[in-house]
């Protein structure tokens, strides 16, 4: 699912996966191994990012948290120049947390050309990629397309970790189903690394629950159920994309102040609307449209019956609240 059926690392026996407590657990297990076994101390996360990234890595033993620029508020898009500059200035052996797809919270992903530039800098600076794949299938509706960044880095010869969560794409939020995918340079490294990671897990929570994991394994190993699941993923992703189009169209029809192109260029479950903290609070208090102070809103809550209400609320808020 993550690597693809014909990925050379599978036949070369240079990869393995370990079940973890959802994506958060996979991040923690991988971070503890890197900090305690390899002595890594510096990690970078995007500005902004999912708030738990910083906490997980610090609690795992990392000492130096740093940010790399990501979101350009003026362009309402990716600050690729700032991102690359910050990575060029990163110390060797820094761990770089990368969102595999559907960046949380901005919904703004690098293009394939931009991923290439990111890989170039990371290779030059000897930086370690740690991908967080929480939304595979929800970005584009295509599992392979949403895994492109991870597969590309592997094709470039990187060693890397990837934390996978099956909470969203399998609807198993409370089952805590996750996987830490590890890709190494040689098959000889697999056994010792796997042994040390297993030892880390043993001292942390011993064993993960198996009910949700068995559901995921059964669906992925059954061709008929797998195709049905992929169809469901495509349907859910398509609905989110259609809601993005509807929201943008309605905002533009209402002549809402600003440019709303970013609503449809962003992907995944969330959108950075561009509303500031005061405006976001106004949306919550007056219209009961719940969003973060950063302006992030969940696109999954939009429906054909409420999109006009949301668009009108945004227009009124922008006109009345600074």
Counted residue by residue, the chain has a size of 322
Q: Does residue 304 lie within any of the structural domains? A: yes
Q: Does residue 226 lie within any of the structural domains? A: no
Instruction: Examine the residue annotation and report whether 50 is marked as an active-site residue of this protein.
Output: yes
Q: Does residue 18 lie within any of the structural domains? A: yes
Residue 232 neighbours by CB under 8 Å, 6+ apart: none
Q: pLDDT of 92-148, one tens digit each?
A: 999 999 999 999 989 899 999 999 999 999 999 999 999 999 999 988 889 999 999
Q: Does residue 104 lie within any of the structural domains? A: yes
pLDDT of residue 322: 87
Q: pLDDT of 290-320, one tens digit each?
A: 999 989 999 989 999 999 999 999 999 999 9
Say whether pTM exceeds 0.85.
Answer: yes
* Distance (Å, whole) CA 71 – CA 73: 6
- End residue of a domain, out of 221, 250, 281: 221
Q: Does residue 125 lie within any of the structural domains? A: yes
Q: Output the domain CATH number for residue 250.
A: 3.90.1150.10
Confidence of residue 269 (pLDDT cuts 50, 70, 90): confident
Q: Indicate if 215 and 265 belong to the same structural domain.
A: no
Instruction: Examine the residue annotation and report whether 109 is marked as an active-site residue of this protein.
Output: no
Number of domains in the chain: 2
Q: Report the pLDDT averaged over residues 206-235.
A: 94
Active-site residue identified among 79, 146, 168, 229: 168
Q: pLDDT of 251-265, one tens digit each?
A: 999 999 999 999 999
Residue 173 has pLDDT above 90, yes or no: no
Active-site residue identified among 79, 109, 132, 146: 132
Q: pLDDT of 9-47, one tens digit each?
A: 999 999 999 999 999 999 999 999 999 999 999 999 999
Q: Indicate if 125 and 176 belong to the same structural domain.
A: yes
Confidence of residue 76 (pLDDT cuts 50, 70, 90): confident
Any long-range contacts for 314-320 (C-beta under 8 Å, 24+ apart)?
314/251, 314/256, 314/273, 314/275, 314/283, 315/251, 315/254, 315/255, 315/256, 315/257, 317/275, 317/279, 317/282, 317/283, 317/286, 317/287, 318/256, 318/257, 318/258, 318/275, 318/279, 319/257, 320/282
Q: Indicate if 68 and 181 belong to the same structural domain.
A: yes
Q: Does residue 167 lie within any of the structural domains? A: yes
Q: How far is CA 155 from CA 64, 152, 213, 275, in A?
A: 29, 5, 28, 39
Instruction: Examine the residue annotation and report whether 71 is marked as an active-site residue of this protein.
Output: no
For the beta carbon of residue 6, count every other beta carbon within 10 angstroms. 7
Active-site residue identified among 50, 71, 148, 260: 50
Q: Where in the sequence is the domain holding 263, given as residue range(s)?
A: 237-320
Q: pLDDT of 53-63, one tens digit each?
A: 999 999 999 99
Q: Output the domain CATH number for residue 152.
A: 3.40.640.10
């Amino acid at each position: 699912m993550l690597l693809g059926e014909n990925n050379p690392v599978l036949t070369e026996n240079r990869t393995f996966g370990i079940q973890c407590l959802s994506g958060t657990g996979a991040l923690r297990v991988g971070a503890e191994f890197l900090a305690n076994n390899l002595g890594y101390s510096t990690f970078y996360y995007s500005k902004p990012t999912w708030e738990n990234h910083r906490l997980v890595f610090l609690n795992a033993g990392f000492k130096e948290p740093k940010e790399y620029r990501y979101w350009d508020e003026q362009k309402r898009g990716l600050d690729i120049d700032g991102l690359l500059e910050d990575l060029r200035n990163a110390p060797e052996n820094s761990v770089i947390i990368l969102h595999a797809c559907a960046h949380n919270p901005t919904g703004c992903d690098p293009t394939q050309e931009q991923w290439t530039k990111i890989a170039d800098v990371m290779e030059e600076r000897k930086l370690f990629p740690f991908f967080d794949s929480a939304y595979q299938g929800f970005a584009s509706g295509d599992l392979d397309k949403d895994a492109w960044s991870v597969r590309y880095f592997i094709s470039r010869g990187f060693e890397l970790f990837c934390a996978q969560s099956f909470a969203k794409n399998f609807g198993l939020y409370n089952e805590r189903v996750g996987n830490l995918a590890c890709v190494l340079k040689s098959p000889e490294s697999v056994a010792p690394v796997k042994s040390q990671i297993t030892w880390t897990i043993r001292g942390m929570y011993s064993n993960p629950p198996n009910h949700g994991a068995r559901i995921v394994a059964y669906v992925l190993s059954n061709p008929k159920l797998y195709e049905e699941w992929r169809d469901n993923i495509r349907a859910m992703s398509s609905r989110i994309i259609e809601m993005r189009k509807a929201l943008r169209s309605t905002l533009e029809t209402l002549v809402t102040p600003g440019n709303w192109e970013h609503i449809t260029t962003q992907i995944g479950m969330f959108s950075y609307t561009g509303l500031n903290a005061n405006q976001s609070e106004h949306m919550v208090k007056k219209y009961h449209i719940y969003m973060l102070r950063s302006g992030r809103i969940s696109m999954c809550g939009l429906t054909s019956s409420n999109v006009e209400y949301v668009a009108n609320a945004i227009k009124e808020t922008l006109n009345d609240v600074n």
